[in-house]
């Protein structure tokens, strides 16, 4: 379990945060004309709604009450026209808002995904995958709800409420004041409920994040769960989290239902006050029946937005929480892929004064993932061009860390790593990484065609795709697939064997024609037949390239130009296979453990 950091779903609890909202509105700039037209429709829709009770008042006072029904046709036709116009304007608002909302969400998802691809690897080590996925999915959806049903709708509601108050005061000030006596207690109740709902919403979001994290974890390791027959235990864990999420929603439902009922009560009370006071005014001839009916109509329209207060508050609460998490993610510092780091030690350039530098040189490198737990200590290593160097040692000795530092997935704590005599911190990351290709123990295959998995959409690599497959022997199984290189592969290459996936990764490395080829336990999980096929093409694969090979199977590195033995982050032995066996040291011990000392 991860603790702290981005995965936590704690929120500030604000239903409105001007700073976050202003930042979000920046994503509306490309669609400002469409938003402007939508905002222009709001007052027109409000006018249609405000005119209906006034038209009803006119029809009652000037046609129905006097008995002049022949004059009713005009107001009735106009009333019907207002209803149709209101429906048309409302459709335009909703359609426009939904379209803009979907485009903004698509833009935001694209921005988030692009940003994620540029974050440093250590950030992913401390962040839960489920929480990150939640930000690109449900959090962005929450913003769509806010835009479509929240923020713009609130503007329309305020216009409607202001118009209703103005119309009621214009018709009869005294009756309006009597009606408005219910507002102070209603506002107090709404404020009280909002304060209590705030904590309830916070708890719901937190429980949802935990449930999403558990789902992501289990679905990503479903084969392990099934292999160890732990379905019942994982079901019990999910049931517990699901139940906790359900219970967290209970207070929200309670407060929401209570607020709705109380608003309904105040609405009915306001209508009762209108009838009570208005009837007396009618008996004294001060108020017309049409005015009384119009007041009742306005009150019903007035309490509609207030009735939706809890729902809109929930939308705004969730949206602000989502904005907080999304912008927290966007504020994470990216890798400076194209900005070399200034280092204090003066560096010499390759070829100066006729000096020939090693292609790769580690000089007194130290690194630790956690304080006081060094992974590499004073580590030094050189690789000449065209040389094949093997790193061997027990698990946890720092072999894979060497690769991570060389590719600048992590930054070293001290020392230097030089490529052609230049500190890699003074090289652009993308240029550095294009000079090397990595084949790891766990081959990753994307959902897509076989050809795409070899060249990854790179045009130059696509030109070398077929030859690369031939070089490593992958062409043998590719040509047997239904559509060959155009065969669509399932997610993670689930329809290929492990050996076939690894062969694709080898072909991928060759297609990118790297100067430095890095093999990190690349054949450790491959069956004997697949390994034989790989070994057949490995000599052609490594020809003319510098190679750094990490292996537990010592049989795969016997022909290396040099074998470097790492133990607890330090180089303890170095030499060829026969030389190291003669030393009868750490390498000989590892070799005997694998082969019972029967070889050589």
Q: Which letter does DSSP use for residue 526 in this model? A: S
569: enclosing H helix or E strand: none
Measured in residues, the chain has a length of 600
pLDDT, tens digit, for every residue of 546-567? 889 887 777 777 888 899 999 8
Q: Is the pLDDT of residue 532 over 80?
A: no
Res 353: pLDDT:
43
Q: Is 217 helix (H, G, I), strand (E, B) or coil?
A: helix
Place of tokens 């250590």: 122
Q: How confident is the model over 177-192, as a mean pLDDT? A: 81
Q: Is the pLDDT of residue 16 over 70?
A: no
Longest CA pairwise span in the chain (Å):
121
pLDDT at 387 over 60: yes
Determine if residue 333 is left, alpha or beta; phi over 0 gives left, psi from -120 to 50 gives alpha, anything else beta: beta
Pairing mode, strands 562-567 and 516-520: unpaired
Asked whether the beta carbons of 538 and 364 are under 8 A apart, the reply is no
CB 441 within 8 Å of CB 506: no
Residue 342 has pLDDT above 90, yes or no: no
Positive or negative, the CA dihedral 254, 260, 263, 264 is negative
Q: Which residue has the tokens 């990854």?
A: 456
Which of 132, 150, 141, 121 lies closest to 9, judged by CA? 132
Strand partners, 566: 571
> Within 10 A of 348 (CB to CB), how many other CB atoms are there?
12
pLDDT of 525 strictly over 60: no
Is residue 448 within 8 A of residue 462, CB to CB? The reply is: no
pLDDT for the residue numbered 311? 64
Average pLDDT over residues 336-345: 54
d(CA 392, CA 398): 10
Alpha-carbon distance of 593 to 600, in angstroms, equals 14
Report d(CA 263, CA 190) in Å as an integer: 9
Q: How far is CA 358 from CA 138, 384, 586, in A?
A: 51, 5, 26
In what order do the strands lie in the sheet containing 414-419? Answer: 373-383, 360-370, 414-419, 422-423
384/338: higher pLDDT: 384
Can you give the three-state secondary structure of 231-294, one letter per residue?
HHHHHHHHHHHHHHHHHHHHHHHHHHHHHHHHHHHHHHHHHHHHHHHHHHHHHCCCCCHHHHHH
Least confident stretch, 279-283, 308-312, 565-569: 308-312
Looking at every residue in the chain, the average pLDDT score rounds to 79
| pLDDT of 109 over the 50 cut | yes
Residue 415 confidence (pLDDT) above 70: yes
Separation of alpha carbons 596 and 588, rounded Å: 11
The answer to whether 477 and 529 are in contact (CB under 8 A) is no
- Measured CA to CA in angstroms, residue 72 lies from 35, 68, 171 at distances of 39, 7, 21
CA distance 255 to 260: 8
pTM of the model: 0.70
pLDDT at 417 (0 to 100): 92
Scan for tokens 């076939």, then name that residue: 500
pLDDT in tens, 424-436: 888 888 888 888 8
For residue 179, the model assigns a pLDDT of 82
Residue in the structure block whose two tokens are 């990190």:
520
Which is higher by pLDDT, 164 or 146?
A: 164
* Domains in the chain: ranges and CATH: 18-330 (1.20.1560.10), 357-595 (3.40.50.300)
């Amino acid at each position: 379990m991860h603790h702290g950091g981005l995965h936590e779903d704690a929120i500030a609890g604000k239903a409105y945060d001007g700073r976050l909202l202003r930042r979000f509105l920046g994503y509306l700039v490309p669609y400002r004309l469409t938003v402007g037209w939508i905002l222009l429709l709001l007052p027109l829709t409000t006018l249609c709604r405000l005119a209906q009770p006034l038209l009803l008042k006119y029809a009652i006072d000037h046609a129905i009450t006097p008995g002049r029904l022949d004059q009713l046709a005009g107001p009735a036709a106009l009333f019907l026209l207002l209803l149709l116009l209101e429906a048309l304007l409302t459709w335009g608002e909703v359609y426009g808002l939904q379209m803009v909302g979907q485009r903004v969400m698509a833009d935001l998802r694209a921005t988030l995904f692009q940003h994620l691809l540029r974050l440093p690897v250590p950030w992913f080590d401390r962040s839960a995958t489920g929480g990150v996925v939640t930000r690109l999915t449900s959090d962005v959806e929450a913003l769509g709800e806010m835009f479509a049903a929240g923020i713009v709708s609130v503007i329309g509601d305020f216009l409607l409420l202001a118009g209703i108050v103005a119309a009621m005061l214009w018709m009869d000030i005294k009756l309006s004041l009597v009606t408005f006596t219910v507002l102070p207690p209603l506002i107090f109740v709404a404020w009280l409920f909002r304060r209590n709902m705030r904590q309830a919403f916070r708890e719901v979001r937190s429980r949802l994040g935990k449930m999403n994290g558990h789902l992501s974890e289990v679905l990503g390791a479903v084969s392990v769960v099934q292999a160890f027959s732990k379905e019942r235990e994982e079901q019990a864990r999910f049931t517990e989290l699901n139940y906790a999420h359900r219970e967290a929603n209970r207070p929200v439902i309670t407060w929401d239902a209570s607020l709705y009922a109380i608003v309904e009560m105040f609405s009915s009370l306001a209508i009762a006050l209108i009838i009570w006071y208005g009837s007396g005014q009618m008996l004294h001839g001060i108020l017309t029946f049409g005015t009384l009916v119009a007041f009742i109509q306005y009150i019903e329209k007035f309490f509609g937005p207030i009735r939706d207060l809890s729902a809109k508050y929930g939308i705004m609460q969730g949206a602000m929480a989502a904005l907080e998490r999304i912008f927290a993610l966007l504020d994470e510092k990216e890798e400076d892929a194209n900005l070399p780091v200034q280092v204090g030690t003066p560096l010499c350039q390759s070829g100066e004064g006729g000096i020939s530098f090693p292609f790769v040189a580690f000089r007194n490198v130290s690194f630790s993932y956690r304080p006081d737990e060094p992974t590499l200590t004073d580590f030094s290593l050189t690789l000449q061009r065209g040389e094949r160097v093997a790193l061997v040692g027990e698990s946890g000795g720092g072999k894979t860390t060497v690769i991570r530092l060389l590719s600048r997935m992590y930054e070293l704590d001290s020392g230097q790593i030089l490529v052609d005599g230049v500190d890699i911190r003074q090289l652009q990351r993308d240029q550095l990484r294009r000079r090397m290709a990595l084949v790891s123990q766990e081959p990753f295959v994307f959902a897509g065609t076989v050809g795409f998995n070899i060249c990854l959409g790179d045009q130059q690599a696509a030109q070398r795709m077929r030859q690369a497959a031939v070089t490593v022997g992958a062409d043998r199984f590719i040509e047997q697939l239904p559509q060959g290189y155009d065969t669509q592969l399932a997610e993670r290459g689930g329809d290929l064997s492990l050996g076939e996936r690894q062969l694709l990764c080898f072909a991928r490395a060759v297609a990118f024609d790297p100067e430095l080829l890095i093999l990190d336990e690349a054949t450790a999980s491959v069956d004997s037949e697949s390994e034989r096929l790989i070994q057949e093409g490995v000599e052609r694969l490594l020809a003319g390239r510098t190679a750094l090979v990490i292996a537990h199977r010592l049989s795969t590195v016997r022909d290396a130009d040099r074998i470097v033995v790492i133990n607890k982050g330090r180089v303890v032995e170095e030499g060829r296979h026969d030389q190291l066996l003669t030393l009868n040291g750490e390498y000989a011990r590892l070799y005997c453990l694998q082969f019972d000392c029967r070889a050589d």
